[in-house]
Amino acid sequence: MWTTSKNDITKLNDETYNESFRGKFNDLDGAKYRKQLEKTFIRNMFPTKGIASGDLFDINKDYDYKEFIDIIKTSGAEAVLVIKRVSWEQTQHIDGVDGDISTRYEPNARFHIYLIDMATLENQWIATSSVEGDFYAGYGTVNNNLARKVIRKLRKERYIAGKELKRMMSN
């Protein structure tokens, strides 16, 4: 689940949903970015099964809190992984040799990540992560770096299946 909310997410009650998610988590403007972010996280989580919010919720459709929670619970999800972008900037690099000047930009971003238990609707795990992108790849690289960092932390703390199970399932 994706948000750019300014609010901290302490639990998933109706107030938090209305302030931080409603009209934001499935908006049209962020659809392409969310799809790539969700795909990256699901791929990195294997063998733990992930469900993309894009598979559950229609773009630009308004859902009230009860509908939102019911759809997630009906999907069988035990938890919701919330990715909140705190900042996004691009660092400009200017190189020059013999009068030839080139400019490139590298994306950098900071995120807050929350793992919300669907049984209690409370945070079970929170983290922050800063990632840098590559000027050739843009947000795709930022998302991949973010997913690898977050999944590594979740595995280490045993919230999702570790590499041992992943290796066994690959054979």
Q: Where are the domains of the chain?
A: 2-85+111-170
R_g (Cα) of the chain, nearest Å: 18
DSSP notation for 72-128:
HHHHT-SEEEEEEEEEEEEEEEEEEETTEEEEEEEEEEEEEEEEEETTT-BEEEEEE
pTM of whole model > 0.75?
yes
Residue 135: pLDDT above 60? no
pLDDT digit string, tens, across residues 87-134? 777 777 677 777 788 776 676 778 999 999 999 999 999 999 888 766
User: Contact at 8 Å (CB) between 130 and 146?
Assistant: no
User: Contact at 8 Å (CB) between 124 and 117?
Assistant: yes
The two tokens of residue 69 are 């929670």
Phi-psi region of 125 (alpha: psi -120 to 50; beta: other; left: phi over 0): beta
Residue 169: pLDDT above 50? no
